[in-house]
């Protein structure tokens, strides 16, 4: 093998970066629709026009298992509306995974509720159902499920626990567009589900989110939180909530029609892109299996990964001569691989979850806080993850993936050189 690129040898990857660009470029048809909307109407008028079209198409995407869909200006706003819709209030507790993107849970701080974190399954990266029951108290109101990186959580066990203790369930499906658990789409199990449509998602609006539910009560409450006037007047069913149509509950969290148009065209391409992404990442995974220092993403037999939001294999330095993850990533970057250390980590590392006095509100001394060591699985995953491109175009991506494998192989076979350069540095 040639000398490692990190030590000024030739690169293994010959194709110039970027190797993965997301979101994909717009089509002429999408650009024409955006231009037409500009001249037709740039305001947001309830559930109408492209907003209504997107909401209806999203319900169809979920096999029409959902009665109500509400668009929001972000997935985080939709999550705030979900917690509010379920009645999460001051001093309530929400059980949630210790490893996920913080926005799945952080909105509850605005409602003065407390997160009760539980560790995750080391294989699926999703909340471990075996740890939920011992964290349930008289204050528990909601279980938040995150289908991490697109892998569905164990919904049978979680829904059984929720039923036993009469708890509500929110599904955060922001990583999992098109994922299925035992043949059923994620987002159709819980009381409320939320999908982010942020630019990095496989269904993207630029910024946006959508909340879905089968409950008229939760639909009414979610509308009132962020959709005053037209939407509230036309869609709220309950007479009590209907009286607040003009003001809502004080927030404006509505999606722009431009974002809705972008999401509609993105949704139309979902099945094709999932098929191609699955082909790319299955191939990539099989090729990576030859390296004992790499653990490829686990996929349970009873799930369909759908969108594969993120491709996150694990690196184990103990299986590679104790070369640090930082040095390993540095070497792969030098070879021309688009790779980085993920920004995700255990929530027990973030100040919002570790400091009692965060100056958001007064008298929060009873809020539970966390520290390093509380969630060994979450912390292990956070310290071992690698972030590689979520390749989606099979024809172009296979050539790049093959060159990436050459880079991994080059580093694997020249570990002595890498270890020696680590000592020198």
- Higher pLDDT among residues 98 and 355, named by residue: 98
Vertex 64, ends 60 and 67: CA angle to 5°?
Answer: 110
Length of the chain: 425
Q: Is residue 378 part of a domain?
A: no
* Same-domain status, 166 and 252: yes
| Percentage of the residues of the chain whose pLDDT score is greater than 70 | 98
Give the phi and the psi of residue 87 in degrees, each rounded to 5: 85, 20
Predicted local confidence at residue 1, as pLDDT:
56
Q: Is residue 363 part of a domain?
A: no
| pLDDT of 422 above 80 | no
Residue labelled with tokens 């390993």:
328
**Three-state helix/strand/coil letters over 278-332:** HHHHHHHHHHHCCCCCEECCCCCCCEECCCCCCECCEECHHHCCCCCHHHHHHHH
* Same-domain status, 209 and 274: no
Q: Is residue 369 part of a domain?
A: no
Q: Is residue 351 part of a domain?
A: no
* Same-domain status, 53 and 162: yes
Average pLDDT of the segment spanning 222-248: 96
* Same-domain status, 12 and 48: no
**Average of per-residue pLDDT values in the chain:** 95
**Checking DSSP bridges between strand 192-196 and strand 303-304, what pairing results, if any?**
unpaired
* Same-domain status, 156 and 244: yes
Predicted local confidence at residue 357, as pLDDT:
80
Final residue belonging to a domain, choices 221, 242, 268 = 268
Average pLDDT of the segment spanning 276-286: 98
* Same-domain status, 192 and 296: no
Closest CA to 21 of 398, 338, 347: 338
For the chain, the domain total comes to 2
Q: Is residue 353 part of a domain?
A: no
Predicted local confidence at residue 45, as pLDDT:
77
| pLDDT of 24 above 70 | yes
Q: Which residues pair with 170 in a beta bridge?
A: 144, 192
Tokens of 340: 């980085």
Predicted local confidence at residue 250, as pLDDT:
94
Residue 295, domain extent: 5-24+270-342+385-424
Q: Is residue 360 part of a domain?
A: no
* Same-domain status, 208 and 313: no
Final residue belonging to a domain, choices 268, 288, 307 = 268
Tokens of 84: 């509010």
DSSP secondary structure letter of residue 144: E
- Higher pLDDT among residues 308 and 68, named by residue: 68
Vertex 83, ends 80 and 89: CA angle to 5°?
Answer: 110
**Checking DSSP bridges between strand 303-304 and strand 180-181, what pairing results, if any?**
antiparallel
* Same-domain status, 56 and 174: yes
Strand, coil or helix: what is 158?
helix
Report the CATH number at residue 312: 3.90.1150.10
* Same-domain status, 223 and 334: no
* Same-domain status, 52 and 112: yes
| pLDDT of 190 above 50 | yes
């Amino acid at each position: 093998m040639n000398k490692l690129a990190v030590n000024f040898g030739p690169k293994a990857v010959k194709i110039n970066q970027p190797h993965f660009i997301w979101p994909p470029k717009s089509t002429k048809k999408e650009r024409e629709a955006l231009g037409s909307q500009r001249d037709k109407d740039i305001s947001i008028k309830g559930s109408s026009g492209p907003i209504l079209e997107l909401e209806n198409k999203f319900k169809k995407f979920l096999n029409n298992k959902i009665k109500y869909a509400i668009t929001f200006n972000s997935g985080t706003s939709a999550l705030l509306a979900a917690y509010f819709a379920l009645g999460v209030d001051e001093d309530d507790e929400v059980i949630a995974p210790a490893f996920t993107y913080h926005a799945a849970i952080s909105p509850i701080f605005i409602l003065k509720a407390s997160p009760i974190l539980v560790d995750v399954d080391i294989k699926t990266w999703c909340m471990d159902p075996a740890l939920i029951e011992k964290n349930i108290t008289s204050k528990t109101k909601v279980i938040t499920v995150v289908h991490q990186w697109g892998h569905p959580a164990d919904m049978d066990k979680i829904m059984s626990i929720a039923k036993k203790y009469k708890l509500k369930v929110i599904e955060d499906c922001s990583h999992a567009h098109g994922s299925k658990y035992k043949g059923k789409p994620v987002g159709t199990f819980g009381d409320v589900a939320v999908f982010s449509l942020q630019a990095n998602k496989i269904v993207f609006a630029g910024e946006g989110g959508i909340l879905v539910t089968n409950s008229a009560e939760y639909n009414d409450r979610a509308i009132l939180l962020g959709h005053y006037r037209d939407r509230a007047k036309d869609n709220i069913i309950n007479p009590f909530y209907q009286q607040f149509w003009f003001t809502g509950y004080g927030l404006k969290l509505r999606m722009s029609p431009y974002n809705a148009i972008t999401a509609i065209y993105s949704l139309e391409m979902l099945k094709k892109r999932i098929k191609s992404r699955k082909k790319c990442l299955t191939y990539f995974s099989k090729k990576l299996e030859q390296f004992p220092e790499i653990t490829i993403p686990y996929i349970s037999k009873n799930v369909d990964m759908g969108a594969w939001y993120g491709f996150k294999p694990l690196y184990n330095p103990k299986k590679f001569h104790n070369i640090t993850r930082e040095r390993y990533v540095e070497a792969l970057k030098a070879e021309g691989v688009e790779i980085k250390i993920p920004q995700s980590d255990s929530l027990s590392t973030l100040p919002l979850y570790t400091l009692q006095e965060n100056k958001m509100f007064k008298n929060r001394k009873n809020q539970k806080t966390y520290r390093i060591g509380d969630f060994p699985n979450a912390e292990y995953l956070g310290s071992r993850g690698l972030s590689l491109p979520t390749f989606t175009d099979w024809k172009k991506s296979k050539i790049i993936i093959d060159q990436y494998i050459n880079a991994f192989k080059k580093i694997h076979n020249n570990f002595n050189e890498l270890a020696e350069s680590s000592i020198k540095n």
